[in-house]
């Protein structure tokens, strides 16, 4: 379950929670893969991460469904793990569009105009057109008529206006999106806690606590990967927390240990948290009964 203090959001089968202060390949040996591996699409996570403007239907057959602003984005960096992409000097605008005639509106026909011109991309990391929280890119097979477009802009953006442009039309970003684009980068202190040991039948609960130590409100973006006790490597979650200046937000990951692990040479669970240029690992021993 993913939630903030003001909003209980929908859940995956293995619970993920976010408790916000604001509303806003490695492998293991000798242990076969089993049903305990992730069964849900990792893109199912939901976050109240940014303002949106929706439902912009156009007579030329282009509709802007959603506009999101993030300092970084999460996608695959290998076929079985997440990475975080971005940096303090840039940020992403993710625009979700639906198009009646994709052949008339190829990827290269879209751009963001602000203090310069920024071309659309769907090539980030090793995701092959996948972004956590945004599903499939525009123009991908099976998603030719709808999907996301990404634009890398300077952070902060020094412009009074910004708009998505395509031939003969445009979509102006609203003030809420512009406010986020104009924010300087925030700074965070991050604490990652997990139990040292658990037994089969129990639940592993890991907590990420983020404090915004900067002078501006900000958005923390992280990714969680898991090794073991019965999968080689698995992308677990994208973490997106809006944190006001001087305040903290927490997020919880829960994993139920449903099986015995007597046949595993190394029945440990390793949780890898990544954010910006940082990463930290917590190891959880699975004790035999």
Q: What is the pLDDT of residues 251-268, one digit of tens each?
A: 999 999 877 665 667 788
Residue 249 pLDDT more than 80?
yes
pLDDT score at 172: 97
Containing 180, the helix (H) or strand (E) segment is helix 175-181
Residue among 87, 49, 67, 74 at smallest CA distance from 219? 49
Compare 114 and 140 and report the one with higher pLDDT. 114
Q: Is residue 37 part of a domain?
A: no
- Write the CATH number for 279: 2.60.40.10
Give the pLDDT mean for 15-40: 38
User: Domain check: are 144 and 236 in the same one?
Assistant: no
Q: What band does 21 get if pLDDT is binned at 50, 70 and 90?
A: very low
User: Domain check: are 220 and 148 in the same one?
Assistant: no
pLDDT score at 48: 45
- Percentage of residues in the chain with pLDDT exceeding 70? 77
- Distance between CA 72 and CA 21 in Å, rounded? 20
Of the three residues 159, 182, 205, the one that is the final residue of a domain is: 182
pLDDT score at 238: 98
Q: Is residue 216 part of a domain?
A: yes
Q: Which residues are 289's β-sheet partners? A: none
User: Domain check: are 166 and 205 in the same one?
Assistant: no
Number of folded domains that form the chain: 2
Q: Which residues are 223's β-sheet partners? A: 238, 274
User: Domain check: are 194 and 169 in the same one?
Assistant: no
Q: Is residue 260 part of a domain?
A: yes
Q: Is residue 217 part of a domain?
A: yes
Residues of the domain holding 233:
188-286
Of the three residues 131, 155, 182, the one that is the final residue of a domain is: 182
User: Domain check: are 75 and 172 in the same one?
Assistant: yes
Q: Is residue 265 part of a domain?
A: yes
User: Domain check: are 158 and 204 in the same one?
Assistant: no
User: Domain check: are 159 and 243 in the same one?
Assistant: no
User: Domain check: are 204 and 279 in the same one?
Assistant: yes
Containing 178, the helix (H) or strand (E) segment is helix 175-181
User: Domain check: are 237 and 264 in the same one?
Assistant: yes
Q: What band does 26 get if pLDDT is binned at 50, 70 and 90?
A: very low
Query: Which segment of 78-82, 147-151, 197-201, 242-246 scores lowest on mean pLDDT?
Result: 197-201
pTM above 0.95, yes or no: no
Residue 1 pLDDT more than 70?
no
User: Domain check: are 222 and 164 in the same one?
Assistant: no
Q: Tokens 């412009």 sit at which residue?
A: 159
Q: Is residue 97 part of a domain?
A: yes
User: Domain check: are 85 and 192 in the same one?
Assistant: no
pLDDT score at 115: 94
**Per residue in 117-135, pLDDT tens?**
999 999 999 999 999 999 8
Q: What band does 54 get if pLDDT is binned at 50, 70 and 90?
A: low
Residue among 151, 217, 221, 222 at smallest CA distance from 184? 217
Query: Which segment of 206-220, 229-243, 259-273 scores lowest on mean pLDDT?
Result: 259-273
Q: Is residue 35 part of a domain?
A: no
Residue 209 pLDDT more than 90?
yes
- Distance between CA 125 and CA 220 in Å, rounded? 19
pLDDT score at 56: 62
**Per residue in 169-200, pLDDT tens?**
999 999 999 999 999 999 999 999 999 999 88
Residue 109 pLDDT more than 90?
yes
What is the SS3 assignment for 29?
coil
Q: What band does 60 get if pLDDT is binned at 50, 70 and 90?
A: confident
- Distance between CA 219 and CA 59 in Å, rounded? 35
Of the three residues 149, 182, 215, the one that is the final residue of a domain is: 182
Contact by Cβ (8 Å): 79, 60: no
Q: Is residue 36 part of a domain?
A: no
């Amino acid at each position: 379950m993913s939630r903030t203090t003001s909003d209980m959001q929908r859940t995956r089968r293995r619970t993920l929670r976010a408790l916000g202060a604001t509303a806003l390949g490695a492998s293991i040996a000798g242990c076969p893969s089993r049903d305990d591996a992730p069964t849900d699409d990792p893109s199912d996570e939901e976050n109240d991460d940014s303002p949106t403007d929706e439902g912009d239907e156009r007579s030329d057959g282009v509709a802007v469904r959603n506009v999101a602003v993030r300092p970084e984005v999460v996608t695959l960096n290998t076929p079985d793990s997440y990475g975080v992409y971005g940096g303090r000097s840039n940020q992403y605008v993710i625009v979700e569009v639906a198009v009646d005639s994709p052949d008339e509106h190829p990827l290269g026909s879209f751009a963001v105009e602000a203090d310069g011109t920024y071309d659309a991309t769907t090539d980030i990391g090793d995701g092959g057109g996948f972004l956590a929280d945004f599903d499939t890119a525009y123009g991908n097979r099976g998603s030719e008529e709808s999907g996301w477009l990404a634009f890398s802009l300077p952070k902060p953006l020094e412009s009074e206006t910004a708009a998505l442009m395509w031939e003969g039309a445009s979509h102006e970003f609203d003030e809420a999106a512009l406010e986020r684009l104009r924010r300087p980068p925030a700074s965070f202190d991050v604490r990652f806690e997990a139990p040292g040991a658990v037994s089969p039948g129990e639940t592993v609960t890991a907590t990420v606590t983020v404090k915004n130590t900067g002078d501006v409100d900000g958005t923390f973006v992280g990714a969680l990967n898991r090794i073991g006790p019965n999968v080689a490597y698995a992308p677990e979650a994208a973490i997106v927390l809006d944190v006001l200046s001087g305040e903290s937000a927490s997020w919880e990951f829960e994993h139920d240990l449903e099986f015995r692990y007597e046949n595993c040479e190394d029945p440990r669970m390793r949780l890898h948290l990544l954010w910006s240029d940082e990463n930290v690992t917590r190891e959880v021993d699975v004790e035999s009964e």
